[in-house]
């Protein structure tokens, strides 16, 4: 009996830590919600992270989560541990001074325009 209880306890602990962990995974992202935008002028943008990337056939995380050095994008480095605003708002060395809204719009829209797929109009992304 004691052994069973112990196992049950261990199991629920493991289950709880798994649930806790997955809460921070990109699978659960359904909106782009950069914490830098505190007062929004537009509705936030629906973005099913993993589904989007699968559908769009994007394999490299650094297609979006990039790292740059001396004006060049590093092929083998990525920054998925950072929000875009961590680099596109601050002026620290190595950071980009590209305005944050422009950074999002350029990245999202330019690929959609280039591939003739995905939304390009304001209201197609900022859905009420």
Q: Which residues bind ligand HEC (CB under 6 A)?
A: 26, 29, 32-34, 37, 40-42, 44-49, 52-53, 55-56, 58, 61, 63-68, 79-80, 82-84, 86-88, 95-98, 101, 103-109, 111-112, 115, 117-122, 124-126
Phi-psi region at 114: left, alpha or beta (left = phi > 0; alpha = psi -120 to 50): alpha
When the beta carbons of 75 and 124 are compared against ligand HEC, the nearer one is 124
Q: Least CB distance from residue 7 to ligand HEC, whole Å?
A: 32
When the beta carbons of 15 and 127 are compared against ligand HEC, the nearer one is 127
Q: Least CB distance from residue 5 to ligand HEC, whole Å?
A: 36
* CA atoms of 104 and 64, how far apart (whole Å): 10
When the beta carbons of 3 and 116 are compared against ligand HEC, the nearer one is 116
Residue 28 backbone phi and psi in degrees, to 5: -90, 0
3-state secondary structure (DSSP) of residue 68: strand
Q: Least CB distance from residue 17 to ligand HEC, whole Å?
A: 17
When the beta carbons of 7 and 74 are compared against ligand HEC, the nearer one is 74
| Ranges of H-type helices in the chain | 2-22, 49-55, 85-88, 100-115, 122-125
Q: Are 62 and 77 in contact (CB under 8 A)?
A: yes
């Amino acid at each position: 009996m004691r052994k069973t209880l112990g196992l049950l306890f261990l199991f629920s602990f493991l289950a709880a830590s798994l649930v806790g962990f997955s809460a921070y995974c990109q699978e659960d992202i359904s909106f782009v919600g950069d914490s830098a935008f505190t007062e929004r002028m537009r509705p936030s943008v629906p973005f099913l992270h993993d589904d989007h990337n699968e559908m769009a056939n994007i394999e490299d995380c650094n297609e979006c989560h990039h790292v740059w050095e001396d004006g060049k994008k590093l092929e083998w480095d990525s920054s998925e541990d950072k929000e875009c605003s961590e680099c596109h708002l601050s002026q620290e060395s190595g950071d980009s001074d590209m305005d944050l809204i422009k950074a999002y719009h350029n990245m999202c829209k330019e690929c959609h325009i280039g591939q003739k797929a995905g939304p390009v109009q304001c209201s197609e992304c900022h859905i009420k």
